[in-house]
Chain A
Amino acid sequence: MSEEIIKDVIIGENEEYIVNMGPQHPSTHGVLRLEVCLKGETVKYLIPHIGYIHRGIEKMTEALTYPQIIHLTDRMDYLSAHINNEAVCLVVEDAMQIEVPERVKYIRTILDELNRLASHQLWWSAFGMDLGALTTFFYGLRDREYILDIFEESFGSRLLHSFVMPGGLMHDIHPNFQKRTKEFITYFRKKLPEYDQLLTGNVIFHNRSKGIGYMSKETAIGYGVTGPSGRGSGFSCDIRKIAPYGAYDKVQFNEILETEGDTFARYQVRMREMWESLNIIEQLIDNIPEGDYTAKMKPIIKLPAGEYFRRVETARGELAVYVVSDGNKSPYRMRFRTPNFSNLFVMNEIAKGCKIADLIAISGSLDLVIPDIDR
């Protein structure tokens, strides 16, 4: 052992020490281990260790047919399960050159936005709780329950609803769906200002989030940080605008951009996105066209040999699906580019020099879902 290491590590002359945050830490929202090097209370660097919940989803897809793959994608980013399902369906529909009925496109887009709302509500609840505001958890989950009830009525499950099939939907929406969604919109428009009063204006919250975890636009692009985390740094990366899918080209909505790049900016992006999601649903919910809920599909789906690529905007960023097919009923190779994987690794860059308590605020503002990182 060299003298330097003895001085550094054993005697501790530099006063540096390494602390494990996780894998069972409550504020990492899953089994993520951050190896944090501290000097005093200041973070010098951190190394994320992933793989605690690796299930090999990409490898499993090679043995399954395309309709069977759908239910695995639920288990990646479980808070935007419907959007993950849609990504795989879009790839299959692209490859087989199927024109999906207009009704399906409208319903899928509405469900995407409802899913995004439910995800942002849970994020808001948990983010407040991470920073010590326990009240937010009850208020966020109270409103999320309305969306989950709508989901349960239409799909039969609350969180992991494999509702989308290649070519359409599993079954038609419930007769009550439109009525209940409209009720929810009027309800939530009244409740959303309460969120601002409870947390956004709070001075303790301001002090803990403003100027913390600064991410420049260059860093965001360099690390591939997408979604609300990237848009908080002014990186225009909304797939709904860049490459519209579903019915997004038929609705008017704004891409939310904030330029401050700190934790509070990322918070503001998500809060404003909730308003925008409500607008999108409101434009579509009355205009769902009549028609079939699924296109005509062959009983066994075989993709023609070739490579296919498609990307969608989940609640956390850009999800891209890449399929290599050799003409069989299961893919030769399937790869998911998940948003959280890129969003996690920027943490080392933006958490340098922060205090360890700010690390909680930063990881909360990136809105990490760990099964999405490990797949």
Chain B
Amino acid sequence: MNSIAKYLSELFKGVSTLWAGMRITGKYFFSPGAIVTQQYPENRKTLKMTDRFKGEVIMPHDENNQHACTGCGICEMNCPNGSIEIITDRVPNAEGKMERVIDKHIYHLSMCTFCGLCVKTCPSDALAFGQKFEHAVFDRNKLTKVLNQPGSKLRKEAK
């Protein structure tokens, strides 16, 4: 008799705890409140990442196709994975002296871990983080990017 009573009490206890959990899920089933799921591929046009989002490293250019990179190589030195390569060139300036300018700022997105040291340590604020995050490509070579646009020049500070 005792065992039957114990069995029944455990059964009712089990049903009651099950009911406590089901009440929560039932509540959300009928009144979900705030819907947190984002319909990602459909909402691409309205999806806006936060300002500080670390999508990729970019080099902002102004309307005259000018950037701020002097080619000092501090970002290359600070990168822990070797994902930045800088190729510099020597060209004569207005006074006829040879001057070091940047030829190619190569950025390997495939090796980048987004630690942010290059952007943080750049002395002339030439680098920034971009908002793009859809990086999937079919060929790995496409992940190697040249950050300075063709024909771009160093922005001369107004003296």
Residues in chain A within 8 A of chain B (CB atoms): 64-65, 67-68, 70-72, 135, 142, 145, 152-157, 160, 162, 165, 170-171, 174, 194, 197-199, 201-204
Residues in chain B within 8 A of chain A (CB atoms): 10, 13-14, 17-18, 20-21, 23-25, 36, 49-50, 52-54, 78, 80, 113-117, 120, 129
**Residues of B close to A71: CB separation below 8 A:** 80, 113, 115, 117
Q: 23 A-B Cβ contacts within 8 A?
A: A67-B78, A68-B115, A68-B117, A71-B113, A71-B115, A142-B36, A152-B49, A152-B52, A152-B53, A154-B52, A156-B114, A156-B129, A157-B53, A160-B113, A162-B115, A162-B116, A165-B120, A197-B24, A198-B21, A198-B24, A201-B21, A202-B20, A203-B18
Interface of A is mostly: helix
In the complex, the answer to whether B117 meets A152 with C-beta atoms within 8 Å is no
A-B contact count (CB 8 A): 70
**Residues of A close to B23: CB separation below 8 A:** 197
A156-B129, A197-B21, A204-B14 known; A67-B52 Cβ under 8 A = no
A-B interface, 7 closest residue pairs, ranked by CB to CB distance from nearest: A71-B115, A68-B80, A156-B54, A156-B52, A203-B14, A162-B115, A203-B17
**Residues of A close to B114: CB separation below 8 A:** 156-157, 160
- Across the interface, name the chain B residue whose C-beta is closest to A145: B36
**Residues of A close to B14: CB separation below 8 A:** 203-204
Smallest CB separation, B32 vs chain A (Å):
11
- Across the interface, name the chain B residue whose C-beta is closest to A165: B120
**Residues of B close to A197: CB separation below 8 A:** 20-21, 23-24
> Which of B14, B17, B20 has the largest count of A CB atoms less than 10 A from its CB?
B17
**Residues of B close to A204: CB separation below 8 A:** 14
**Residues of A close to B120: CB separation below 8 A:** 165, 170-171
Cα distance A71–B80 when bound, in Å?
9
